[in-house]
Structure 1
Amino acid sequence: MKMRKEIFPELIKAYHEDEVFYRKLYEEEQLRPEEFENFVAGLDREYIKRHELYVPAIHGKWLNYLNENELFKTQEDHIAIQKHYRYSPEYIHEHEFYEIFYVYEGACENTIQNVKYSCSKGDVCILPPKTKHSIAVFDDSIVINIMLKASTFHEVFFDIFTGKNVLSQFFAHILYDKTENNYLLFHTGDDDGIRSLIEDLYMEYNGRVRYFETILKNGVMTLFCLLLRNHENHLESFLNTTHKNLDMLEVLNYFQKNYANITLKSAAEHFNFSVPHFSKLIKENTGQNFIEILKNIRLEKACYALANTDLSIMTICDIIGYPNPEHFSRLFKKEFGMTPGAYRKSRIQS
């Protein structure tokens, strides 16, 4: 059934078939523990496998690390939005993608950093990769999860890092200082703008109408902006930090603005470092060398141009700083497993 905005609350609160399964499983274990083993023995294993359900009594310890391929089935997928299934078993895990969860209705229990938190209606939690956490919903509360590929986050949302705000500083540490176990928790309360935007994002993702991916990317950017505008002073955070030899946020912003004609020598001179020392600092703070960072920025720009413009591949090469189209094509195919032309065609068809 296609969702309409006016009936969204009713539809999102309705129990999905898998939620009914999980609720029954939970009730049997809580109310009749002495009979639970027999109950599990009688479960339909084919149904469980077909629906990809998790039953601890059958599967034992679940995956504690989720890679992007387990969530994003194709290279064209960038953002996934789902309702967290109520009564699904809680388990501590981490993953290589970004996760934002929003408490749409009621409350939920979370474990982050091995510390338990109670989140209430309107809370927005941002979890970067490699943050151990779990979500527990064992009543009629509604939690909506937004998952983003790391590459999509880097490509689409870098503009928000240009300001000196809590998000820019937070993500500068996450992305370029290589720290783990961090989170941001915004308390938005009854902010109708946030609530309405989350509804729109959920409907766009599930409707999957033409251009929905672009709308999703812009929508998540808007979410970040609204959080900063209205709730920067209504947050809790935990940030592991490492020593910093230079302001990597400033350095990466400079790379983003000058990627077409920048060199290691020109960048080092701009920041008043010798070339060897600047190169070493970049590697220590990002885990990548200058050439790798520049290549990633240029290819991200190329992907955007291929998917969103009619510019020729030769013109795109000139714009992003690769004057040799053959060299660009080899790099692109090595990175994405297809030629620039095939990538453009796949984006048009999607």
Structure 2
Amino acid sequence: MEKDKLEKHEVMQYLREYNEQEIFYQQYQLKKHDNTSLQLFLKDYDKHSLMHKQIYIEEFLLKGQNEFEKEDTMWLDQEKDIEVRKYSRFMPQLSAIHDFFEMIYVLENEMYVEVEGKKMALKSGDIAFIPPNTIHKPIVMENTIAMQIMIRKSTFQKVFFKMLKGNHVISEFFLNALYIKENKNILIFHSHLDKHLLDCSL
């Protein structure tokens, strides 16, 4: 039992440490206010290598372009159905759109998600489901620890289809998410850091 607790603590410690993306974003935010410093900083980076590392900044996106990832580029023909990442602190507030499901799970502190101009707060323990083809803007605080879980649309359909039967709000939301091309809503659950859910996620 003690070993199990220690491992969870180690995972949280690992998540609190800055990763490569966060170090880049932190330096980028410091230089952003001075164009000369920013250009000197960016000249050492290649647009394609940054994108490959899932680092997105407006200078390397086409004007008016949203951050976009497709299923086939996300998984690159891998057998995996789910991709899990930590949400990067210091990341720019850019709108994103994907053709797969995204689930946000906030582990510490809070963050915001903006959809259709409406800003929604996600606090510790909150889980947000963002359907495919939903333009959303994640706003991550400096002390936010949150997981970004991406699920293939086909996997979601296969695994959750039996659970989606019935005329209630949740099944209606997911059925619309699977079969309607453009979505303007997200679904938020307040789990209050349910122990079982937290253990599974970690």
Give yes or no for TM over 0.5.
yes
1:82-101 map, 5 Å: 82-101=85-104
After superposition, the C-alpha distances for 1:164-201 in whole angstroms (9 at most, x for unaligned) are 554223222333455622210111223222222211xx
2:47 pairs with 1:42? no
How far, CA to CA, are the matches of 1:67 and 1:152 in structure 2?
15
| Distance of aligned partners of 1:28 and 1:47 in 2 relative to their CA distance in 1, 3 Å threshold | closer
Q: TM-score, normalised by structure 1?
A: 0.50
Q: How many residues align?
A: 192
1:205-244 map, 5 Å: none
Instruction: Look up the equivalent residue of 2:125 and give its one-letter code.
Output: G
How far, CA to CA, are the matches of 1:118 and 1:127 in structure 2?
14
| Distance of aligned partners of 1:5 and 1:95 in 2 relative to their CA distance in 1, 3 Å threshold | same
Q: CA deviation at 1:91?
A: 1.1
Contact residue 83 and residue 142 of structure 1 kept, 8 A: yes
How far, CA to CA, are the matches of 1:154 and 1:126 in structure 2?
14
Report the counterpart of residue 149 of structure 1 in structure 2.
Answer: 152
Q: TM-score, normalised by structure 2?
A: 0.83
Choose which of 166, 170, 178 in structure 2 pairs with 1:175: 178
Return the structure number with greater relative CO, CA threshold 8 A, min gap 6: 2
Which structure has the highest strand share of the two?
2
Choose which of 104, 107, 112 in structure 1 pairs with 2:110: 107
Identity of aligned residues (%): 28
After superposition, the C-alpha distances for 1:35-85 in whole angstroms (9 at most, x for unaligned) are x11111112545454343323235453444432122121152311110011
Report the counterpart of residue 23 of structure 2 in structure 1.
Answer: 20
1:197-346 map, 5 Å: 197-199=200-202
Q: RMSD in angstroms over aligned alpha carbons?
A: 2.3
How far, CA to CA, are the matches of 2:30 and 2:24 in structure 1?
10
Report the counterpart of residue 3 of structure 2 in structure 1.
Answer: none
After superposition, the C-alpha distances for 1:86-137 in whole angstroms (9 at most, x for unaligned) are 1111111221100100111111121112211221111100011111101011
Report the counterpart of residue 55 of structure 1 in structure 2.
Answer: 57
SS of corresponding position for 1:42: helix
Unaligned runs of 5+ in 1: 200-350
Which structure has the highest helix share of the two?
1
